[in-house]
Structure 1
Amino acid sequence: SKKIAIFGCKSTTRFLVENLAGRIPISRIITIAPELAHRNDVADYLDMTATAEEFGIPLYTAQSYALKSAADEEFFAREAIDLAFVVGWQRLVPEKILQTFSIGVFGMHGSAMDLPLGRGRSPMNWAIIEGKGQFFTNLFRYDPGVDSGDVLDTYKFQITPQDTGETMHFKNTLSMVHLVEKNLDVLLANHFKLQRQSEQIQPTYYPKRSPKDSLVGWELDIAALERFIRAVAPPFNGAYSYVNGEERITLLRAQVFDFTDFGLGSALPGTVVQVFPNGKLLVKCYGGLLLVHEYTCGARLVKGDLLSNGPETLNRFARNAQGNFDIPE
């Protein structure tokens, strides 16, 4: 029988293992240790030890996240795994390791425009920020490039006005499980057809978003601001700002309250124009008022407080001709 492995170190990795373990014999989980994850700043990291024990799957802990150590190379050469699925693993897989798989290593990459547009990092967060209405999740065979492999299958889903970084993750994870289950038989039989990514379309790449990029820019109009808060909501670190330049505040959930200003319109954008009896905040923005339902802050907020980037400088990402953030190389 074929040897199947799963690469990953996030909660999505566990979700895939949970959903596939009963259906197929998984012979290995390939992951990284907590300290390596910490050094590589892995968001939403999950130690896979308990998962491996629970499902009785042997665990291999890689020496390097880039899989470039001699020990990792020896492991893959020795194991001769046939097929692998990569989920929750944000590094390329080197050519030398890809060659040890008889069927191939398959991973997921999604983007709102479909490949080869929107390769690169944080595509789900960017899709909400850009106000996109749809998302394509692709199951593709890894090659040494960035999301450049041939595509086996694609699943398209809707981005609703309520979606957050979390719900996008849920939808993308369900798409991934569905694509793997749907294509498993043809993969194991090594009898499948891959579709090359179009060479007529110039590939574009989204830049990496780091926790510091969740700093709120109060110069955004209210619609863009509301999307931004949803895009980086937990499990990401949450949109944050500073109260009167000092105390940090994280805006977890907010909505466009109204385009009229109830006589509160003369304040600067970022000003708390009202604190309701239950603690919810009303903040003046360009184009309207933002109601903040949930936030965390060490200070008690009062009317007149000003939210700003405080001691930090906003990182301004380059934009393409359409005003979006995926840039040709």
Structure 2
Amino acid sequence: MRIGYFADGPWGRRALKRIEEAPELEVAFVVLRHDAPDSELKSRAGRLGVPTFAPEDINASAILRELAAREPDLNVSMSYDQILRSEAIEMAPEGFINCHAGALPFYRGRNVLNWALINGEERFGVTVHDVEQGIDTGDILVRRLGPIAPDDDYGSLLDRAADLCADVLLEALEDIRNGTASRTPQEEIHPVGFYSSRRREGDEWIDWTWPTARIHNLIRALAPPGPGARTLLDGDSVVLLGAERIPQAPAYIDRPGTVVGRGEGGVVVKTGDTTLRVTTIADWAGGKPTHSRTPRLRVGTTFGMNLQHEVQRLSGRIDRLERRLEALEE
């Protein structure tokens, strides 16, 4: 069976390697992202003697004619970023399938592994489904779940999900090749499901009035290769790269974000309900975390912003500006 392969990044590389190793599968071409083509995927395709493309518009008639001339039996998307219209979807006789890192019909959309960690899920999903005009709405061919351990973070989960996605894709390809594939409409699993939005700049900031579980989940969800959860320390941005829940930590009222304990493993910080041990922080410089370290901070140090102090500070600045304006008008 000839595969048209639309891919990017480590997910695309791992799955392509698995496809290479299957003697009954042949790669007809590889389509890379236009804005930043994956050089490793391009090199791997070159070693296989497989042509690569990186079109600005995958739905342009000229590129679709060129791809169709390569006679793929089935097209596969693995982390490809362009929206496909009907002519592209229907190019190959066996259709177009996609591997998605979410347990469809839940976690459709973007950044789904981050959202799964933020939501405190105990399992993540990987789904191979038909591509159609909707986003992640096509019928399901194969769906598998994997565990999320309490100490998992984005990096560990990303690595495991990439392996599972390659396994699940190969299972789906084998079913299609053998004519044994079955398809399940997503509505049969849940009538609605839900979408995950793309995470944007600003989403990484910690609100220390949140419960401990929510703060801990955000820190692990944004761990490298994510951007890292952010807070303020003495007015400067810092990144929290590691934290631990404290067993049997009591709930009590105090100032959220305050360092209330310290030890060899880091500092204990008050949250909206209990406390959290922060084990690794880094400075934020040049758009990335730098100088990673175990925090050694005095008890009473405060993470985050004191809103009352900020309001007073800004009010003072406004008063000074108003007085300057009045002086200029005199």
Partner of 2:297: 302
Q: In the aligned structure 1, how far is the partner of 2:306 from the partner of 2:80?
A: 34
Partner of 1:323: none
Partner of 1:288: 274
Displacement of 1:8: 1.7
Q: Structure 1 residues 53 and 203, CA, compared in 2 at 3 Å: closer, same or farther?
A: same
Paired residue for 2:116, among 118, 127, 130?
127
Partner of 2:314: none
Q: Structure 1 residues 56 and 110, CA, compared in 2 at 3 Å: closer, same or farther?
A: same
Q: Does 2:77 align with 1:86?
A: yes
What SS is found at the alignment partner of 1:214?
A: coil
Q: Does 2:239 align with 1:250?
A: yes
Partner of 1:3: 2
Spell out, residue by residue over 1:101-136, the C-alpha distance to the aligned partner (whole angstroms, 9 max, x if none): 11122112343xx43233222222222211222233
Q: Does 2:176 align with 1:187?
A: yes
Spell out, residue by residue over 1:182-226, the C-alpha distance to the aligned partner (whole angstroms, 9 max, x if none): 233332345522122226712422222124312212121111111
Q: Within 5 Å, which residues of 2 pair with 1:211-222?
A: 211-222=201-212
Judge conservation of contact 1:222–1:286 (CA < 8 Å) in 2.
yes
Q: Could you tell me which runs of 5 or more consecutive residues in structure 1 were left unpaired when the two chains were aligned.
A: 39-44, 312-329
Paired residue for 2:197, among 199, 207, 222?
207
Partner of 1:95: 86
Q: Does 2:47 align with 1:51?
A: no
Q: Structure 1 residues 63 and 229, CA, compared in 2 at 3 Å: closer, same or farther?
A: same
Q: Structure 1 residues 250 and 71, CA, compared in 2 at 3 Å: closer, same or farther?
A: farther
Q: In the aligned structure 2, how far is the partner of 1:166 from the partner of 1:55?
A: 30
Judge conservation of contact 2:245–2:277 (CA < 8 Å) in 1.
yes
Judge conservation of contact 1:256–1:288 (CA < 8 Å) in 2.
no
Partner of 1:272: 259
Q: Could you tell me which runs of 5 or more consecutive residues in structure 2 were left unpaired when the two chains were aligned.
A: 285-290, 308-330
Paired residue for 1:62, among 47, 55, 59?
55
Q: Please, what is the CA RMSD of the aligned residues?
A: 3.0
Q: Which amino acid aligns with 1:154?
A: R
* TM norm structure 1: 0.78
User: Identity, % of aligned pairs?
Assistant: 21
Spell out, residue by residue over 1:145-165, the C-alpha distance to the aligned partner (whole angstroms, 9 max, x if none): 111111111112222212222
Paired residue for 1:230, among 216, 220, 240?
220
Judge conservation of contact 2:99–2:126 (CA < 8 Å) in 1.
yes
Q: In the aligned structure 2, how far is the partner of 1:162 from the partner of 1:46?
A: 33
Displacement of 1:143: 0.8
What SS is found at the alignment partner of 2:187?
A: coil
Q: Which has the higher helix share?
A: 2
Q: Which amino acid aligns with 2:185?
A: R
Displacement of 1:55: 4.6
* TM norm structure 2: 0.78
Judge conservation of contact 2:259–2:269 (CA < 8 Å) in 1.
yes
Q: Which amino acid aligns with 1:270?
A: G
Judge conservation of contact 1:215–1:309 (CA < 8 Å) in 2.
no
* Count of residue correspondences: 294
